[in-house]
């Protein structure tokens, strides 16, 4: 994120493969330990019903954190995700209420998300190091604008009621079915997207360029990688995935609510760093975030199971973040950076 921290990422890439495997191994270990603890503390923890609901919640968080992971690999952040989720969640029912065919409405919302993301990318690239503020500002503006649009001619500010198409409810509701099997299709969708993205990150020009740029801007420019294009593409993907998460959350809840994205403001960042992706850029990946997402979801379920409220859960997450990051991504002392 700043000049002083660059060597950290460089050193990390030297022992990259080793460390990456280590972070995945630690993550999986933590996940298994948590599952054992959960099974011991909470009744019916490993029952099919509970596993299904945990995977469903993890799928929402995982899809929302996809863009955050890619942005972190560039050394940026996208805080607009939470607000784009909220905006998509209220704009979609509004569009359907206006008489747009649901499929078309979903496409419009998804394209809108990608466009907002592209704007984020353009501005964040121009204002290097200020991505946090830029995306926050864009997020405010987008959700404010969406709320104004949906409130026109309605007496419910910030909430939109409407008929959610059956296929969308089935997609993301807990009692949904996939090819006759008893789990919501979003879990399968998340699995396919994760596998696809991990493949893309390792095998494609796009994925390798992203790591190259995150590690060293100089090296990336020598390889004729266009920084601007990558920033715009990554943030557009982030906006697109946020909009899709907002759409799916509508299927889950059945009604549009502007603040539905708020829990994702910092949780997406937490999922990325707990997974082991460095916020400094160039190190980590979506596989790590998938594990981070699962760890967070299982932990939340345990905390709810032993009777902690939302505030106390947040506090536990907060206490977890620093030690976990200290495991993966400490910067070297200043005397080593001269």
Instruction: Give the residues lining the site for other proteins (CB under 8 A).
Output: 1-6, 75, 77, 123, 126-130, 132-134, 136-145, 147-148, 151-152, 155, 157-158, 217, 266, 269-270, 273, 279-281, 309, 311-319, 321-322, 325-326, 329-335, 337-338
Paired strand residues for 256? 160
Angle between helices 48-74 and 227-253 (to 10 degrees): 160
Q: CA separation (Å) from 10 to 6, 139, 153, 216, 333?
A: 7, 32, 55, 8, 14
CB-wise, 139 or 246, nearer to other proteins?
139
Question: For residue 13, how many C-alpha atoms fall within 13 Å in the half-sphere facing its CB?
Answer: 16
CB-wise, 77 or 249, nearer to other proteins?
77
CB-wise, 75 or 184, nearer to other proteins?
75
CB-wise, 172 or 274, nearer to other proteins?
274
CB-wise, 100 or 308, nearer to other proteins?
308
Closest separation in Å from C-beta 107 to other proteins: 25
What phi, psi does 153 have (nearest 5°)? Answer: 70, 20
Separation between Cα atoms, residue 307 and residue 314, nearest integer Å: 14
Closest separation in Å from C-beta 284 to other proteins: 13
Question: Quick count: other Cβ atoms within 10 Å of Cβ 101?
Answer: 11
Separation between Cα atoms, residue 43 and residue 305, nearest integer Å: 8
Report which of 50, 27, 28 is spatially closest to residue 38, judged by C-alpha positions: 50
Separation between Cα atoms, residue 64 and residue 265, nearest integer Å: 10
CB-wise, 129 or 196, nearer to other proteins?
129
Closest separation in Å from C-beta 233 to other proteins: 19
Closest separation in Å from C-beta 338 to other proteins: 6
CB-wise, 192 or 315, nearer to other proteins?
315
Q: Are 49 and 269 in contact (CB under 8 A)?
A: no
Closest separation in Å from C-beta 229 to other proteins: 18
Closest separation in Å from C-beta 312 to other proteins: 5
CB-wise, 5 or 31, nearer to other proteins?
5
CB-wise, 132 or 188, nearer to other proteins?
132
Report which of 102, 118, 108 is spatially closest to residue 88, judged by C-alpha positions: 108
285-316 residues labelled b (16+ CB within 10 A) or e (exposed): bbbbbbbbbbbbbbbbbbbeeeeeeeeebbee
Show the tokens assigned to 4: 């002083």
Closest separation in Å from C-beta 10 to other proteins: 12
Report which of 169, 196, 194 is spatially closest to residue 184, judged by C-alpha positions: 169
Separation between Cα atoms, residue 231 and residue 250, nearest integer Å: 29
Closest separation in Å from C-beta 181 to other proteins: 37
Closest separation in Å from C-beta 193 to other proteins: 26
């Amino acid at each position: 994120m700043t000049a002083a921290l660059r060597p950290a990422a460089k050193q990390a890439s030297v022992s990259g493969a080793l460390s990456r495997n280590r972070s995945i191994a630690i993550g999986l270990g933590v996940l298994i330990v948590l599952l054992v603890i959960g099974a011991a503390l909470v009744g019916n923890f490993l029952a099919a019903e509970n596993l299904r609901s945990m995977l469903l919640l993890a799928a929402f968080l995982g899809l929302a954190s996809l863009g955050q992971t890619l942005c972190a690999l560039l050394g940026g952040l996208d805080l607009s995700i939470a607000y784009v989720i909220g905006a998509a969640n209220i704009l979609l029912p509004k569009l359907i209420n206006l008489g747009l065919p649901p499929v078309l409405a979903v496409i419009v919302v998804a394209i809108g998300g990608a466009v907002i993301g592209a704007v984020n990318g353009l501005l964040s690239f121009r204002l290097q190091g200020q991505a946090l503020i830029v995306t926050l500002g864009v997020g405010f503006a987008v959700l404010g604008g969406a709320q104004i649009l949906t409130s026109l001619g309605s007496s419910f500010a910030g909430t939109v009621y409407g008929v959610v198409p059956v296929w969308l409810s089935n997609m993301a509701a807990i009692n949904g079915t996939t090819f006759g099997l008893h789990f919501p299709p979003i879990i399968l969708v998340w699995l396919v997207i994760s596998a696809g993205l991990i493949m893309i990150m390792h095998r494609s020009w796009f994925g390798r360029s992203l790591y190259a740029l995150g590690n060293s801007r100089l090296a990336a420019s020598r390889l004729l990688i266009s920084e601007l294009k990558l920033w715009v593409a990554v943030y557009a993907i982030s906006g697109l995935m946020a909009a899709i998460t907002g759409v799916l959350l509508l299927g889950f809840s059945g009604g549009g609510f502007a603040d539905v994205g708020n829990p994702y403001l910092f949780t997406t960042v937490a999922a990325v760093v707990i997974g082991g992706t460095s916020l400094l850029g160039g190190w980590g990946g979506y596989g790590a975030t998938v594990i981070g997402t699962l760890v967070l979801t299982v932990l939340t379920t345990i905390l709810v199971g032993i009777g902690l409220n939302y505030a106390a859960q947040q506090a536990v997450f907060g206490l977890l973040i620093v030690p976990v990051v200290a495991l993966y991504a400490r910067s070297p002392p200043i005397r080593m950076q001269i």
